[in-house]
Structure 1
Amino acid sequence: MQTVSILGVPFSKLSLDETVNELHHRLDRNDPQLFHLITANPEIVMNARKDSELRHIVEQADMITPDGIGIVLASRFKGEPVPERVTGYEMLLRLLALGHEHGWSFYFLGADEETSKKAVDIIKNQYPGLKVAGRQNGFFTADDEPKLVEQIASVKPDLLIVAMGAPRAEKWIFKYKSQLSAKLAMGVGGSLDVIAGKVKRAPVVWQKLNLEWLYRLLRQPSRWRRQLVLPQFAILFLLKGRKS
């Protein structure tokens, strides 16, 4: 698999279609080791530079996809372009459709209880061919984790979908990856919120203009502090990015 390094993070150069096909093949192979997929945006890249634990997790990931227009633009500037954004939400929808077709089993972890239940009910109705191996909201304590890990391992899901936000999802998956008995695990951020209708995704025109980040900021002004990482990422990439 070809990758391009953006500030030390190796991003896959596969398109969305190619990524989904690759994941399909890996699921069919029945590899005993969990495949850890990370969808990374500039925020994760910048966090990995100052968080040694996250940096190690990123280095050990099986695949990292470019979830953010900043990553796409940086790759083009470097002369090693990725074909497009490959977001967690879009990938999840494609995997759910394939799960319906092939009878894959899913375990959903994260979001609040109401959102988790509503999203999973919608998924069951829209994709009746897939199996829901279980679900658990994201409000659990460290003391709850051994039992939760045991529960997930007991049902052996094909896919573990973790909607707990970054980097919590990535750290949780990595911590327990050898115990989960899942074939593939990925963090999907607020995807269950979108499926449940709690959060609206940007209209298609905003998505096509790569302004989804601005749409979210306008609807949730409290996100402005998080958006400060974008100019920091751009400046750092211009200073160091072409060599890393």
Structure 2
Amino acid sequence: MNRHRQLLFGMYLDAVRMDDVIERCHEALKTRSRMLLGVLNAAKVVKLRQDALLRDSLIECDLLVADGQSIVWASKLLRRPLPERIAGIDVFDRLLRLAHEEGRSVALLGAKPDVLRKLEEVVARRFPGLTIACSHHGYFEQHEAERVADMIRASGADMLFIGMTSPKKEIFLGTYGSSLNVPVLHGVGGSFDVMAGLTKRAPVAWQRAGMEWAYRLLQEPRRLFWRYLATNTSFIQLTAREMFHPARAFAAERSGPVPQAGSSATERVSGA
């Protein structure tokens, strides 16, 4: 299948729309081939320059899309346009719907145990009869990662959704994704909290305006203010630099499996 990609900030992003993403995932299900989905936002653009593990895990993705509206705006400013923002949580919702319609099974990995239980209840209510072949919380230690991977592998799930922090979710997928025998793999970050009802998502008008980050800031100003200020300022600076000196494509640095990151030591990467 032909791929139209744009080189932005040293990463090749797929210039696709939401329906294209779902169709490619559907094709992967039918052929039992791997579709490892990755998403990029402003915070990751800033962080990947210092984080080789995160960078390598994104390069490993079979499909990398813009999860942040700021990425789409920057792509148009830089004359390397992406057609639209593709939010990870929206992909999560659409793929759950696809699994329900086709009788596919899913695996859930991430969040705290109580949040995961709530998510399972919401999924069961919204998609009656959907098979959750495997579920495990995201607060496991480094030495337990192989056991968790074995559990997912044995479940025979058609889709795996990982609701863990970045770069832990990307690292887990980059390390074990090719050996799990799960066709569709998607790291959804904080989407478990949102779908479980613990975190409120911005209204549609805020989403369309690219202001979801501001809505989150209003909910947690003390925790997020300085993080967003630093991240957004750095992203603007990187965009300005990209206008005059486009970054060359990053090359993967590792030659073997990525070591699993610890859950408690990893901070969520979220941004505009």
Q: Same fold (TM over 0.5)?
A: yes
How far apart, CA to CA, are the structure 2 residues paired with 1:145 and 1:59? 21
Aligned partner of 1:225 in structure 2 is 226
Q: Is the 8 A contact 2:36 2:62 kept in 1?
A: yes
Match of residue 47 from structure 2: 47
Matched residue of 2:179: which SS? coil
**1:22 has 2:19 as partner:** no
Q: Distance in 2 between matches of 1:238 and 1:24?
A: 38
**Where in structure 1 do 4 or more consecutive aligned residues deviate above 4 Å?**
none
TM-score, structure 2 normalization = 0.85
SS at match of 1:177: helix
The question of whether the paired residues in 1 share the 8 Å contact of 2:8 and 2:80 is answered with no
Structure 2: how far apart are the matches of 1:96 and 1:241?
Answer: 39
Alpha-carbon separation, structure 2, partners of 1:178 and 1:60: 10
Task: Return 5+ residue gaps in structure 2 as ranges.
Answer: 248-272
Q: Relative to structure 2, which stretch is displaced further, 86-95 or 12-21?
A: 12-21
- What is the CA distance between 1:67 and its match in structure 2? 0.5
Alignment RMSD (CA, Å): 1.4
User: Where in structure 1 are there 5+ consecutive unaligned residues?
Assistant: none
Matched with 1:139 is 139
Higher relative contact order (CA 8 A, sep 6+): 2
Shift of 1:114: 0.8
What is the CA-CA distance between 1:199 and the residue it aligns to?
A: 0.5
Q: TM-score, normalised by structure 1?
A: 0.94
**Separation (CA, whole Å) in 2 of partners of 1:82 and 1:7:** 13
Give how far 1:241 is off. 4.5
Partner SS for 1:178: helix
Task: Report SS of the residue matched to 2:12.
Answer: strand
- Sequence identity (%): 31
Number of paired residues?
242
Quote the residue 1:236 is aligned against. Answer: 238
Q: Between Structure 1 and Structure 2, which shows a larger proportion of helix residues?
A: 1
**Does 1:171 find its partner at 2:171?**
yes
Distance 1:188 1:57 in 2: 14
- After superposition, the C-alpha distances for 1:172-210 in whole angstroms (9 at most, x for unaligned) are 111112332211211101111111111100111211211
1:128 shift after superposition: 2.0
